[in-house]
Structure 1
Amino acid sequence: MSFTFLKQLPTPEEIKQEYALSPSAKQTKAQRDKLVKDIITGESDKFLVIIGPCSADNEDAVCDYISRLCKVQEKVSDRLVIVPRIYTNKPRTTGEGYKGIAHQPDPEKRPDMLAGLIAMRKMHIRALEESGLSSADEMLYPENWPYVEDLLSYVAIGARSVEDQHHRLTVSGFDVPAGMKNPTSGDFSVMLNSVYAGQHPHHFVFRGYEVSTTGNPLAHVVLRGAVNKRGICIPNYHYEDLERLIQMYDKMDLINPAAIIDANHSNSNKQYEQQIRIVKEIMHNRKISPELRRLVKGVMIESYLEPGCQKVGEHVYGKSITDPCLGWQESEELIYQIAEMNE
């Protein structure tokens, strides 16, 4: 047999009972959920800024970063809702490399899934209770959702997961916004079909149970750029791309049409400094087009304490060990500029 069953993991209920949210944090999270939801539904004119490290590899550095975000949020609360990225699962194109704290709590040691589930939950709880900012994470493994479902105010479905049936159906059971990224091919139809699946009810098998869902009306698209057959990155955040997306949204039975623009990845050709220019272009286009202002509800930015990235084992505090990120100084300035442009 090819599988070796190493150990049985605790249930989500057992982990949540041992690592529980405080009553005050639960209340804060509910308030934050409403802020994010109201932006997606159009009830609020505020703008979402989903920002943070490519992967949350170090609890102290991540919480330090989020404590700084908290101070900025207080100053821009009339215009922006900042959602820190605490991405505890890292998709790998070839399957090699660091897979995130949920898989490897210590990037320099062997995988430990139990310790990873605990580390994942503890980091989200600490960030929420210290800063008052509930976070976003990527759902790389649908089975992990119940371990954090009471902690997240936003979930992203990655470009390589968005075509997967299990991810789509699991999203239909969420009660928070779920951003469905366009696949690496850039096909808008695939992305919108994923949103359709997420918004409608389903009946399927989940974690050993037969389940049914009611559908998630907060499922929406995330544009992250594409890669063509020659391996060249093709951005999809420009005015004409968004106009085309509006037309395609109009032809489908979808509610709450919304788009978040991922300023990095294939939109920036992984040139992380370009995120600043890209975000400014997005904000400018929203300003000149009422249609785009209604569609584009926020941006995703990869940012950490130190700019760039490092290899595992180099130990520069607050510097990404996966994709390169903007540093704190540039990120703080950019957030204030976004607030100024969201008039």
Structure 2
Amino acid sequence: MQQTENLNVAAFDLMPSPDEVKAHVPLDEPAARTVVEGRRTLEAILDRRDPRLFVVVGPCSIHDPVAGLDYARRLRALADEVSRTLYLVMRVYFEKPRTSLGWKGFINDPRMDDSFRIDEGMERARRFLLDVNALGLPAGTEALDPIAPQYYGDLVAWTAIGARTSESQTHREMSSGLSTPVGFKNGTDGDLEPAVNGIVSAASAHSFLGINDQGRSAVVRTRGNRYGHIVLRGGGGRPNYDTVSIALAEDALARAKLPRSVVVDCSHANSRKKPELQPLVLRDVVHQIREGNRSVVGLMLESFLEPGNQPIPPDLSKLRYGCSVTDACIGWDTTAEILRWADDVLRDVLPRRPAP
């Protein structure tokens, strides 16, 4: 009989099950406390029981765990400084969606040499998350592969669904079962509808194919996730953090009978991928809050130790320490300055801010 399947598959390499990876890198009590506290705090902010803003801040992507932990230690100290006003969550992104080709992230290719040791990348990613949480710093990530959360979801406090996947039924179903609040980004063309529909869908129960902790195929049955919210990241050649754009987002959420909870991503199309514009976006949004905005509950910044970005060289020893290999970031000094400024400006504003 002629072969009719796997015609374009070169190999099936066995992957350790989630249980096996967790056995190698087990969740401990200090990390579990950080995760639970992080999720509860974010839920309280979204419910308006906590008046602070949350800020998801960190590298565009993790490629060097040593530099990543260096950044995490600095962010942990800064988090204490601004804790009266801002709740800091470290951006820990391991998976990079690609329009065509390019490095797909630390899990897919941890050695950055096209060896694609996903088994190694998954374990190292889990270990990095454990180390970040051990500092008392909650972590946020983007869920791209629908199987990956089974491997490290117990170490994540906040999840993003990206602009390219907010419209995906697979990612909406997955979000309905995640244990974290989930931010749905507007589409790459700036359209709000994919994100709004994603929030509605994720709030409902779903049944879909997935894997269990033993790595067996399973029908996953979810309860629904009521902590979905919209993330404005600009698109279609224009930003959408201005007062008119945020008002339109509020109206779209209200029409869908959803809480008016808005997060502004200061990067991507909102800064036209120019990192030096991210502080200007943040300052504009903070000004809107001072002037009476009640819907913005969070911000996102792409930030690393050094400003800018760099290509991945053939000789990895030539990589510049603490500099992004994907989107350009603001540097640490700018990050600390802008977050301290926001803390100072909003310190007396947020406690008196009425709910929308």
TM over 0.5: yes
**Does 2:221 align with 1:215?**
no
Across the two proteins, how many residue pairs are aligned to each other?
A: 332
Find runs of 4+ consecutive structure 1 residues off by over 3 angstroms. none
- Segments of structure 2 that go 5 or more residues without pairing to the other structure are 1-6, 212-216, 350-356
Shifted more, 133-142 versus 25-34: the winner is: 25-34
Q: C-alpha distance in 1, partners of 2:48/2:180? A: 15
- Corresponding residue for 1:243? 247
Q: Paired residue for 1:145?
A: 149
The answer to whether the Cα contact below 8 Å between 2:271 and 2:278 also exists between their aligned partners in 1 is yes
Task: Tell me by how many angstroms 1:144 deviates.
Answer: 0.5
Distance 1:154 1:27 in 2: 15
Amino acid at match of 1:209: A
User: Does 1:327 pair with 2:331?
Assistant: yes
What does the per-residue CA deviation read over 1:205-243, in whole Å, with 9 as the maximum and x for residues that have no partner?
22321121111011111111012xxxxx21111100111
Q: What is the distance in 2 between the residues matched to 1:151 and 1:67?
A: 17
Aligned position for 2:352: none
Q: Bigger CA drift: 272-281 or 70-79?
A: 70-79
Distance 1:301 1:236 in 2: 15
> For the residues of structure 2 that align with 1:226 and 1:24, how far apart are their CA atoms?
39
Deviation at 1:151, TM superposition (A): 0.2
Bigger mean CA offset, 278-287 vs 13-22:
13-22
For each residue in 1:284-304, what CA deviation from the matched residue of structure 2 results, as whole angstroms up to 9, or x when unmatched?
A: 011112xx32x1111100000
Distance 2:67 2:60 in 1: 13
Deviations 1:25-55 (A, max 9, x none): 2122211221111111211101111000001
Question: Quick one: distance in 2 between partners of 1:63 and 1:276?
Answer: 23
Classify the secondary structure of the residue corresponding to 2:194. helix
**3-state DSSP of counterpart to 1:132:** coil
Structure 1 residue 253, shift from structure 2 partner: 3.2
- Where does residue 122 of structure 2 map in the other structure? 117
Identity of matched residues, %: 31
Equivalent runs, 1:77-156 vs 2, <5 Å = 77-94=83-100, 96-129=101-134, 131-156=135-160
| 8 A Cα contact 2:72 2:90, kept in partner | yes
Does the 8 Å CA contact 2:35/2:155 hold for their aligned counterparts? yes
Paired with 1:191 and 1:251, the residues of 2 have a C-alpha distance of 13
Q: Which has the larger radius of gyration?
A: 2
Q: TM-score with structure 2 length normalisation?
A: 0.91
RMSD of aligned C-alpha atoms? Answer: 1.2
Paired amino acid for 1:283: V
Query: d(CA) in 2 for partners of 1:142 and 1:109?
Result: 22
- Once the two structures are superposed, the pairs formed by residues 52-71 of structure 1 within 5 Å of their partners are 52-71=58-77
8 Å Cα contact 2:187/2:194 also seen in 1: yes
Aligned residue in 1 for 2:3: none
